[in-house]
Amino acid sequence: MRLGELLIAAKLVNQEQVDAALAQNLINGRRLGENLIAAGAISQEALTAFMHRVPLEPGDLADTGIDEKWLLSLLLKLIYLGQLETPAQIVEAIKLPPHLVSDLIRMASERRLLRALGSRDPRSGYGTSYALNEEGLRWAQEALEQSQYAGPAPVSLEEFVALVQLQKINHVVVTTEKIQAAFGDLAISEAFIEKIGPALNSDRAILMYGPPGNGKTSVAFCLANIFNDVIYVPHAVMIGGQIMRVYDPSLHQRLDLKQGAQAGAAPSLIRQEEIDARWVSCRRPFVVTGGELTLEMLDLSFDPTANLYEAPLHVKALGGCFVIDDFGRQLVPPTSLLNRWIVPMESRVDYLKLHTGKSFAIPFEELVIFSTNLEPEDLMDPAYLRRIPYKLEVGAPSRERFRQICDRACAKEGLELTDETFEAITRRITEDKGMELAAYMAKFVVDQVVATCRFLGKPPHFEPRFIAYAVDNLRVNRA
């Protein structure tokens, strides 16, 4: 992955500026960044700050932070399981740069673990092919008995911790404009924006509470649009000789970069400007869990058969947001979950334990959001509430805001909402049904009216009986 692609993804430069800088590279031989600065596309300060947290390719095997013998075993396992033959195939599997793969292949050949099969057509770009000999096969099988991990080379715990610290979510400056853009069509009051803005910039825990149906979950999901810059997530981390997998394609949004966009200019980018492929370029993670959350999900998951670990949810959320939705409705008591979280939230450090008994520290750098429709005082005592500095009530909308929500819902369905119709809807809800207005009701009523019109073969429109049908479905009628 090239530096130019990441700068574009981070919205620091655009494709045209990168193309122009690459063209200048052919003339003056300067690095991409130097040409971008000279052209005024980016400042030296912005580029330095960006490069400070970009994991660049290791220069030699020692720079990987992983024992050479362990990497050699991984190479043999990958060749054995994946039936790999060419250096290009091995590079893709092990995620180390070609010159390091060449070093490992040379080591394996010197130990007579690999044998050369000869060269393919040089025009194919694959070069020499290799295969395990008898001793290499035995080595690979013994390595698999010790650990079945056969994926990208891991990074060291020290390197992982260092990069997590550089990728803290509070490095993102949240502004009013960013919040408004993230919320989009969601009708949010200026007062709420003024409350949530400081909370987001503080990187401290947030409690969102209020009656159901008023947008707590919607607000939480909109926050993912605010924290959408580039961070790097390792495929795996080595801890005391053990492997912990971190990158999870079901949770991490990998950047979809157009690798071919700069293919023609690739030779003009020097090796020092390539990103360490052991790290995956992602948007900041946004992990949501609800009633299914258990204490076990917050600890390392060990697979005794494969002899490797899966990182817990909050480790996969590092650098991003971790939302606990429906807080208080988990199978475990709220106080048990809070006891597990309260120290890491204050100290910004969590401790995990391997099955060998070894404990290790890991940064707790993420934004934790508790969302509940239960009374906070019923869930936690004052000591816990004090430790969650931002408590945001997402309450029932005012009539004015409810009208905005109704207008937007109607516009999407092509419905005309007159003042008389709006008054009929609100009167039916508040007076006839005795219910308090809630944000979800607007879309609920509109969807029901549209469904009734469709059934009757009529264009979408409001009629008193259609409104009555819809509002009656908001709650069960009781005699």
| CATH code at position 276 | 3.40.50.300
Beta bridge partners of 207: 370, 391
Whether residues 25 and 93 fall in one domain: no
Quick: pLDDT tens for 1-41. Answer: 567 777 777 778 888 888 888 888 778 777 788 888 888 88
In this prediction, residue 126 carries a pLDDT of: 52
| Confidence category of residue 164, pLDDT binned at 50, 70, 90 | very high
Q: What angle do CA 388, 394, 395 make, to 5 degrees?
A: 130
Region 272-281: mean pLDDT is 81
Quick: pLDDT tens for 384-425. Answer: 888 899 999 998 898 999 999 999 999 999 999 999 999 999
Region 298-318: mean pLDDT is 95
**Three-state DSSP class for 459?**
coil
Is residue 138 a part of any domain in this protein? yes
Whether residues 224 and 326 fall in one domain: yes
d(CA 158, CA 64): 11
Which secondary-structure segment (H or E) carries 302? strand 301-303
**Which one has a higher pLDDT value, 45 or 197?**
197
**Which one has a higher pLDDT value, 24 or 303?**
303
| Confidence category of residue 478, pLDDT binned at 50, 70, 90 | low
Whether residues 143 and 179 fall in one domain: no
- Is a pLDDT exceeding 60 seen at residue 193? yes
Whether residues 316 and 464 fall in one domain: no
Helical residues (DSSP H) of 175-331, grouped into ranges: 176-183, 190-202, 216-222, 313-316
Q: DSSP string of 202-222?
A: HT--EEEE-STTSSHHHHHHH
Neighbours of 386 (CB within 10 A): 9
| Confidence category of residue 120, pLDDT binned at 50, 70, 90 | low
In this prediction, residue 346 carries a pLDDT of: 87
Is residue 156 a part of any domain in this protein? no
Is residue 40 a part of any domain in this protein? yes
Whether residues 380 and 348 fall in one domain: yes
- Amino acid in position 451: A
| Confidence category of residue 113, pLDDT binned at 50, 70, 90 | very high
* Total number of residues shown for the chain: 479
**Three-state DSSP class for 129?**
strand
Quick: pLDDT tens for 128-160. Answer: 899 999 999 999 999 999 999 999 999 999 999
Whether residues 369 and 447 fall in one domain: no
Whether residues 458 and 324 fall in one domain: no
By residue range, what is the domain housing residue 14?
A: 3-52
Whether residues 222 and 80 fall in one domain: no
In this prediction, residue 121 carries a pLDDT of: 53
State the pTM of this model: 0.83
Q: Which residues contact 449 (CB under 8 A, 6 or more apart)?
A: 415, 460, 461, 462, 466, 467, 469, 470
Give the rounded distance of the alpha carbon of 374 from its chain centre.
Answer: 28
In this prediction, residue 479 carries a pLDDT of: 46
Q: DSSP string of 325-378?
A: TTTT-SSS-HHHHHHHHHHHHHHSEEEEE-TTS-EEEEE--SEEEEEESS-HHH
d(CA 448, CA 440): 13
In this prediction, residue 263 carries a pLDDT of: 35
Average pLDDT, the chain: 88
